Amino acid sequence: MTCLAQDTTSKEKADTIRVGGMIIIKEHKDKEGEKNNTNVVISNHHKRKSSNISTNWVILDFGFSNFNDKTDYAAARTSGFIGQDVGPDQFDLRTGKSVNVNIWFFMQRLNVVQHIVNLKYGLGLELNNYRFEDERLHFAKNPTLIYLDPDWNVVDKNKFAADYVTVPLMVNFNFTPGRENGFGLSAGVSAGFLYSSRQKIKVDGDKDKQHDDFDLEQWKFSYIGELNLGPVKLYGSYAMHNMWEKGLDQTPYNVGIRFSHW
């Protein structure tokens, strides 16, 4: 709304027209002994109110998968879950090849306090690929047995994958509200359900996949966080518990870069 003050020495009238966010003011000024002067003032100070809910569609994460291994290998061998020749060295990961890819169908940000404190949540897929230094590692099923396969001395690829449907929930602090590539951080938790796990082998161009749950835990609960540094966005997650139902004690974690609008 535009207000015009009236001068005691002049008579003022104004016509105001609003077009979208633009305001056009036509001022008429009459003074004694002078002709009628007409001024046109264009104002664009109309401020758009930010939405309390914003949605970001299709977010991609790319990073690395790893785990904190606290397995009692003597007990695991005695239980028959792993072979007698399997130890911590066989589970060493090829870091550059153990990849984490997350595909978030959407994430929403709900304003809580002046768009600075927000609630952030979404839905997506967590895809974890583990590549072991010892590529002879074989995951057999019914019952699960992890052993070294002498026929796999030379393989092109040996990959173990665990994929989850995941719902994240975070408290977001946006230090530069109104900016797309701003600065802020988020922290919270996520819940994921295991929908696929498999071992994929490639030998001399021939591929073989074996699907099973391999006694992995069906649910994965994690602490999660992200850091927004302008155009660069980083993410991380650390599971609250062991990824296996029995035998091994390995707690997974992921770190990487996030490709997102905010």
Q: How confident is the model at residue 1 (pLDDT cuts 50, 70, 90)?
A: very low
Do 110 and 208 fall into the same domain? Answer: yes
Same domain, 155 and 227: yes
Give the residue from 104, 10, 121, 83 showing the smallest Cα distance to 247.
83
Q: Are residues 39 and 57 in the same domain?
A: no
Tell me whether residue 1 is in a domain: no
Residue 111 pLDDT grade (very low, low, confident, very high; cuts 50, 70, 90): very high
Residues 20 and 136 in one domain: no
CA-nearest of 209, 103, 206 to 160 is 209
Same domain for 28 and 136, yes or no, is no
Q: Do 139 and 190 form a contact (C-beta atoms < 8 A)?
A: no
Q: Tell whether 218 is covered by a domain.
A: yes
159 residue type, one letter: K
Confidence band for 261, pLDDT divided at 50, 70 and 90: confident
Residue 86 shares a structural domain with residue 62? yes
Q: Give the CA dihedral 183, 188, 126, 111, nearest 10 degrees.
A: -60
Same domain, 199 and 91: yes
pLDDT, average across residues 157-180: 94
Residue 159 in tokens: 């990959």
Give yes or no: residues 253 and 158 share one domain.
yes
Do both 206 and 151 map to the same domain? Answer: yes
Domain that holds residue 17: 11-43
Residue 236: inside a domain: yes
Query: 57 and 121 share a domain?
Result: yes
Q: How many domains does the chain have?
A: 2
Q: Are residues 136 and 240 in the same domain?
A: yes
Global pTM value:
0.80
- Res 142 pLDDT > 80: yes
Instruction: Establish if 121 belongs to a structural domain.
Output: yes
Q: What average pLDDT is seen over the chain?
A: 88
In this structure, is residue 180 part of a structural domain? yes
Our measurement of the distance from residue 18's CA atom to the centroid of its chain's CA atoms, rounded to an integer in Å, reads 42
- Note whether residue 48 is domain-resident: no
**Whether residues 145 and 27 fall in one domain:** no
How many CA atoms are closer than 13 Å to the CA of 255, on its beta-carbon side? 5
Q: Where are the beta strands (DSSP E) in the chain?
A: 11-19, 22-30, 37-43, 53-69, 99-113, 117-131, 137-140, 145-148, 157-174, 183-203, 206-211, 219-229, 232-239, 250-259
**Within-domain flag for 106:** yes
